[in-house]
Structure 1
Amino acid sequence: MLNLFISPGACAMASHIALEEAGAEHQTTVIDLRQGQQKTPEYLAVNPAGATPALQTDQGVITQNAAILAWVAQTWPEKKLAPVVDVFQFARFNSFNGFLASSLHPALGRLLFSRPPLEGEAKDQATDLALAKLQLVEDHLLEGPWVFGSAYTLSDGYLSVFTRWARQAGLLDSDRFPKLSAHLDAVQARPAVVRMLAAEGLSPV
């Protein structure tokens, strides 16, 4: 059985959503990042990078949300969770997920999770950067109602991780980000996401 290593509320929610959307039989193992469980020898044997998510499969371990999402979409093509047949559109899917991983996630992560917390000018600069990244998605990358228009893909679940964080932090102003706000509400209403949240002991925000 597939085993997904997660930390509830962290970015591994994207991979957890993907498995739920695919209807894949799986289990989850919680890694408490605050307690440092990602640094234990047992977990480092699974993922030497000491981060979640990590997905144990019969063939080995896959890490990084973007890679796991692509694997899930290609493993269950009948679920139509990404345009896996169209080479160009699948590249766009991977490009968007790469942006989330390499640009939006670091910007929000630095602002919200730096230890010690950012203060003063450093916090102001980090806030401006995070808001600018969200604005880029709002204005240019989110076609609406889903990321790529009328069809839901796993990119939508991935994006919702970060808009969820933004809303919790008071950054997702519905007047400034109407498309992102509506998108988060739509994603959180999906049955697969409802199941994911319940499994992680979370509620919609």
Structure 2
Amino acid sequence: MYTLYHFPISCSSAVKMVLEITGAAHQERSVNLFEGEQHQAEFLAINPLGKLPVLVEGENVFTQGEAILIYLSQKHKNAQLMPDLATYQGMEALQWLNFIASSLHGHFTKIFHPEKISHDHQVVIQNAEEEIVKLLNLIDDTLENRQFLAGNLPSLADLYFAVVLGWGQVLSFDLYERYPHFASYKKQLQAEFPLSHTLQNI
């Protein structure tokens, strides 16, 4: 039995999707980021960094979303969420996962918390959005030639990107109007994983 410390709009949603897709027994512990529960002593005792997601399995406490996703994909290989990591296809899927989790997510974090970068919040937000557009352009170009990020089969990178697509409302433009292909891409992903309630409603 896994315990996932989770908040619906956060990147922990990608871990929730994987748990649903694999059918792994799990329970949730809500950590309300808007109310600052991630900074309270009770949660900091579990993860001193005050970050989501956190996955608990028995006596083991796992942090860092990307690492948790890879761990679950390897432990529940029947779900086929990643290719063999020792192959070219596996390496490509890992590259895309890192691209989404580090590069793209990182720039969205600057928009969510510009005060951590500079007192001039608008400059931080504008610069971050410019970088996000560059990355989204690259993703859009990639998806013109393939069904999913790492090829014709979905991977963890696609699940993480589905979460990021839900953050588009913080941008100064309509994400799906600018990138109409993303809407059909998300529908294809939802069709691939009908068992994930989280993915169906993101």
- Shorter chain as denominator, the TM-score bin is 0.7 to 0.9
Q: Where do residues 13-162 of structure 1 align in structure 2 (5 Å cutoff)?
A: 13-58=13-58, 60-84=60-84, 86-114=86-114, 120-140=122-142, 144-162=146-164
Amino acid at match of 1:151: L
Aligned AA (2:77):
P
Identical amino acids, percent of aligned pairs: 28
Letter in 1 for 2:194: P
Kindly report the root-mean-square deviation, in angstroms, between the aligned alpha carbons of the 2 structures.
2.7
Unpaired runs of 5+ residues, structure 2, are none
The residue identity in structure 2 corresponding to 1:127 is E
Instruction: Find out whether 1:192 has 2:195 as its counterpart.
Output: yes
Q: 1:162 to 1:118 in 2, by over 3 A?
A: farther
- What is the letter of the counterpart of residue 147 of structure 1? L
Q: Distance in 2 between matches of 1:149 and 1:38?
A: 36
State how far apart, in whole Å, the 1-side matches of 2:127 and 2:106 are. Answer: 13
Three-state SS of the structure 1 residue aligned to 2:140 is: helix
Q: Paired residues, what number?
A: 199
User: Cα distance, 1:87 vs. partner?
Assistant: 3.3
1:192 alignment partner, SS class: coil
Deviation (angstroms), 1:141 = 7.0
Pair 1:178–1:197, CA change in 2 (3 A): closer
2:16, 2:42 → 1: CA distance? 21
The offset of 1:96, in angstroms, is 1.5
Query: What secondary structure is seen at the aligned counterpart in 1 of 2:55?
Result: strand
Q: What's the CA shift for 1:170?
A: 6.1
Query: After the TM superposition, which parts of structure 1 deviate over 6 Å for at least 4 consecutive aligned residues?
Result: none
Query: Residue type matched to 2:3 in 1?
Result: N
Secondary structure of the residue aligned to 2:68 is helix
